[in-house]
A = this chain, B = another copy of it.
Amino acid sequence: MVRKYVYFFGPDGTDGNGAMRDLLGGKGADLAEMTRLGIPVPPGFTITTEACIEYFTNNQQYPPGIWEQLEEHLAKLEKAMGAKFGQKDHPLLVSVRSGARVSMPGMMDTVLNLGLNDDTLEGLIKVSNNPRFAYDSYRRFLTMFGNVVLGIEHNLFEEVLEEVKKRVAVKTDVELGANELKEIVKLYKELIRKQKGAPFPHDPKEQLKLAINAVFNSWNNQRAITYRRINNIPDEWGTAVNVQAMVFGNLGNDSATGVAFTRNPSTGENRFYGEYLMNAQGEDVVAGIRTPENIESLKEPLPGAYAELMRIYKKLENHYKDMQDIEFTIQKGRLYMLQTRRGKRTAAAAVRVAVEMVEEGLIDRNTAVLRVEPGQVDQLLHPMIDPKAKYQVIARGLPASPGAAVGKVVFTAEEAEKRASQGEKVVLVRQETSPEDIGGMNAAQGILTARGGMTSHAAVVARGMGKCCIVGCGDITIDEKEHRFSLNQSLMVKEGDVISLNGSTGDVILGPVKLVQPTLTGNFAKLMEWADEVRTIGIRANADTPHDAQVARDFGAQGIGLCRTEHMFFERDRILAVREMILADTKEEREKALAKILPMQKKDFREIFKVMDGLPVTIRLLDPPLHEFLPHTEEEIAKLAEEMRVSPEKLRHKVESLREMNPMLGHRGCRLGITYPEIYDMQSRAICEAACELLKEGYNVLPEIMIPLVGHVKELSVTRKNVERIAQQIMAEKGVNVSYLAGTMIELPRAALTADQIAREAEFFSFGTNDLTQTVYGLSRDDAANFLPFYVEHGLYPIDPFIAIDQEGVGQLMEIGVKKGRAVRPDLKIGICGEHGGEPSSINFCHSIGLNYVSCSPFRVPIARLAGAHAALQNKRRDG
């Protein structure tokens, strides 16, 4: 039996519904759903994603039976519209649009007005009684078809248009009359024949097949691929194609087209929020070429359609129980809905919409928690412009996406990517952005456009990326050739000059401004509380300083999961003593140098313990190889030798003798603590003395002493015995009892594989997934740049394993470690302190294998709290 590849939607029956997103794509499913809800939608049909997948897996051959089904549904559509494809009198015109499972705005191709040719043009003139409109539609169709389907460069069409406009001395397209447009149509047809060596295909069915083909193929155009990489969308999903009867927003001043959000997508405010253009086609709004009108002003010219729109948007939001992004067209006063989809929103909007929908009774708290993507929350944790900062605003645009950006001005996406790859911070300034700019937008700190509205390409994409963006900033005049922009003819800003953007106000500022760290307040705090109510996995932070510890605590961290002590060794006042220790020839000399460091380390720990009063603090004893503390160039060695009053030879010799082929696999971690026990002894002493003293001062100190790089249980038993000895000794001296734990990192495969043995000696485990990933893959993070990007791009690794835990490999080893560890010590406390601890999919995995906590950088704590809640809710759902 042949599969059903084509699904109809229209007054005579609708095959699909809103739940069939995987098959029909988001757009197709929602068109079917709206039709079912009785909302006015131009009828049409959807060609399934399965057809697309089969097309690609079968070497770009269409599956059998598809064209028969297409013919059948085309006939149904013709019947529904009372019009016929290619018919002179009453021609059927259609749009052909892509529609993947998830929205990929502007990434794939669209063809409008398909069905037009020299014959049906006559019909359109007759039906519309508007030759200008008909020719305009025809020239638009020729442009799109020529570009999208036939692959002719867009600017060749633009050049023809500009030439005609120049000749008749008009500035905008709207000013062109029917005759000029007729001429343009003729010129376009010639252009196509010249470019392709064959005439423009007049047969509408041939047009349709070619257009469907083009849409399928656009799934694999470069910008779509880039978008999928950025957004982690699998290549295998494919896109559906929607063929829908055309309605026209450009049939005169009783016609219009627009897009709207049921709430403000930037702030989340519960207010209908949209823009429209009178007498225009939908693409004009999205492309940002004409700056559109605010939706409220539609009430006056078209009160009926406006009222209908109000009714429908509420119906849609109530139906979907989520903020919707809708497209509509008003054809001669009659409203048609062309699309509804889940509205993309900034993190701030996501939080506000979620919280307010709970307050409105639309959704429950858990749904609200799930409505905000943990990764997206990152936006709210980025620096904002200091509210107290004084700055000079040089221009103001529309606040399309909040946040702040400070960077050097660049005028092309390529330049943005180039500079960003060299570590520069840039702000991308464009007339308007187009889908080709996606890479540059991603690389930039923020985006500023001179044209376009709140729903323009730049605005939509920037909000999706959580990037600060100001659009429609008409104050600036961009000179793309000279790489500069001017303000009121006076101020000139060149490429490389620094500007700042305030995405929340639309302010463009010359020079850098002071940024401040955000805090958890209002709706965000409320949502976090709800998240905490369902979350079961603990959230700690990696913090090495009292300041970081305070930030972490303010963001809701429940302890410190990793306090690295090597950073303390580098501090100005003690690096010299550290180097003395390294240069020491005897244990006694080493101990002498360490004795100088002891009081400083103790002070470090005292301060951190104070901030974390009542919460556990996991302190990792010294981990990096000693050569990291020594200089390496001849000049540095000479300078230091003088400072230390040793001979440069001695210093150089030490540097040489400590040099390692593979320092990652070298003399570090507990290997140091075992060969130079006095180092760990000093650190244990500093921790225990600090803890004992603070305990006496009334603080509640919960130290967890962590031994790094254990591969064999004996390494732990030897080092731990020393820790215990010192702890007992100091507690006896001070006459207090600190309830401390002694445990280990699990960061080597062997540690995970022998976790049962190690658990006998460890009161806690903490997975060091950075090193574990390096050893499981045999992959040095420092050296991976030569091939890892290639690997990720070509799908050799499904995802960069340093970003998200590789569950198949590294994760498998973690599961072994958890299982073996708990088999011996059922109450073993297990956490993770690699950088994966702040990455949502990794947090979900950690939850699923039963870790007690994740530990991440302080600024990712709220993300982790939310991700932890998602994990709990999703697992509950799965278990339920």
A783 within 8 A of B: yes
> Whole-angstrom distance between the alpha carbons of A774 and B779 in the complex?
12
> Whole-angstrom distance between the alpha carbons of A660 and B795 in the complex?
24
Choice from B753, B782, B797 contacting A776 with Cβ under 8 Å:
B753
Choice from B660, B748, B796 contacting A712 with Cβ under 8 Å:
B796
Residues of A757-812 contacting chain B, CB below 8 A = 757, 771, 774-780, 782-783, 786-787, 790-791, 795-797, 806, 808-810, 812
When all copies of this chain in the complex are counted, the total is 2
| Contact between chains at B715 and A661 (CB < 8 Å) | no
Binds B, one of A188-196, A442-450, A665-673: A665-673
For A808, list chain B residues within 8 Å (CB): 753-754, 757
| Contact between chains at A783 and B813 (CB < 8 Å) | no
| Contact between chains at A749 and B813 (CB < 8 Å) | yes
> Whole-angstrom distance between the alpha carbons of A349 and B863 in the complex?
73
| Contact between chains at A783 and B714 (CB < 8 Å) | no
A664 within 8 A of B: yes
- Shortest CB–CB separation between residue A832 and chain B, in angstroms? 17
A454 within 8 A of B: no
For A539, list chain B residues within 8 Å (CB): none
| Contact between chains at B660 and A753 (CB < 8 Å) | no
| Contact between chains at B662 and A715 (CB < 8 Å) | no
A675 within 8 A of B: yes
Choice from B667, B709, B778 contacting A783 with Cβ under 8 Å:
B667
Q: What does the 1/0 interface line of A806-828 toward B look like (CB < 8 Å)?
A: 10111011000000000000000
A301 within 8 A of B: no
> Whole-angstrom distance between the alpha carbons of A242 and B779 in the complex?
57
A334 within 8 A of B: no
Of the four ranges (under 10, 10 to 19, 20 to 34, 35 or more), the interface on chain A belongs to: 35 or more
Residues of A645-672 contacting chain B, CB below 8 A = 660-667, 671
For A750, list chain B residues within 8 Å (CB): 776-778, 806, 809-810
| Contact between chains at A712 and B674 (CB < 8 Å) | no
A747 within 8 A of B: yes
| Contact between chains at A778 and B771 (CB < 8 Å) | yes
Query: What residue of chain B has the Cβ atom nearest to residue A711's Cβ?
Result: B777
| Contact between chains at A665 and B665 (CB < 8 Å) | yes
**Contacts A714-B796, A796-B674; is A780 near B666 (CB within 8 Å)?**
yes
A718 within 8 A of B: yes
- Shortest CB–CB separation between residue A235 and chain B, in angstroms? 13
| Contact between chains at B753 and A813 (CB < 8 Å) | yes
Query: What residue of chain B has the Cβ atom nearest to residue A661's Cβ?
Result: B782
> Whole-angstrom distance between the alpha carbons of A667 and B664 in the complex?
15
**Contacts A797-B712, A809-B754, A812-B753; is A662 near B780 (CB within 8 Å)?**
yes
| Contact between chains at B786 and A675 (CB < 8 Å) | yes
> Whole-angstrom distance between the alpha carbons of A343 and B293 in the complex?
105
For A813, list chain B residues within 8 Å (CB): 749, 753
For A662, list chain B residues within 8 Å (CB): 662-665, 780, 782-783
**Contacts A709-B778, A778-B771, A797-B712; is A674 near B809 (CB within 8 Å)?**
no
For A667, list chain B residues within 8 Å (CB): 783, 786-787
> Whole-angstrom distance between the alpha carbons of A779 and B771 in the complex?
12
For A779, list chain B residues within 8 Å (CB): 665, 711
Choice from B754, B778, B787, B810 contacting A775 with Cβ under 8 Å:
B778
> Whole-angstrom distance between the alpha carbons of A666 and B777 in the complex?
10
| Contact between chains at B663 and A783 (CB < 8 Å) | yes
> Whole-angstrom distance between the alpha carbons of A709 and B776 in the complex?
12
Query: What residue of chain B has the Cβ atom nearest to residue A674's Cβ?
Result: B796
| Contact between chains at B790 and A748 (CB < 8 Å) | no
- Shortest CB–CB separation between residue A426 and chain B, in angstroms? 25
For A748, list chain B residues within 8 Å (CB): 776-778
> Whole-angstrom distance between the alpha carbons of A663 and B665 in the complex?
11
For A711, list chain B residues within 8 Å (CB): 776-779, 809
Q: What does the 1/0 interface line of A499-510 toward B look like (CB < 8 Å)?
A: 000000000000
Query: What residue of chain B has the Cβ atom nearest to residue A812's Cβ?
Result: B753
**Contacts A665-B779, A747-B778, A787-B667; is A714 near B795 (CB within 8 Å)?**
yes
Across chains A and B, which 8 residue pairs bring their CB atoms closest together, nearest first?
A: A665-B780, A662-B780, A750-B809, A661-B782, A666-B783, A749-B749, A748-B778, A660-B783
Binding site for B on A (CB under 8 A): 660-667, 671, 674-675, 709, 711-712, 714-715, 718, 747-750, 753-754, 757, 771, 774-780, 782-783, 786-787, 790-791, 795-797, 806, 808-810, 812-813
A-B contact pairs, 14 of them (CB 8 A): A662-B662, A665-B774, A667-B783, A671-B787, A674-B791, A675-B786, A711-B778, A712-B797, A714-B795, A714-B797, A748-B778, A750-B778, A750-B806, A750-B810
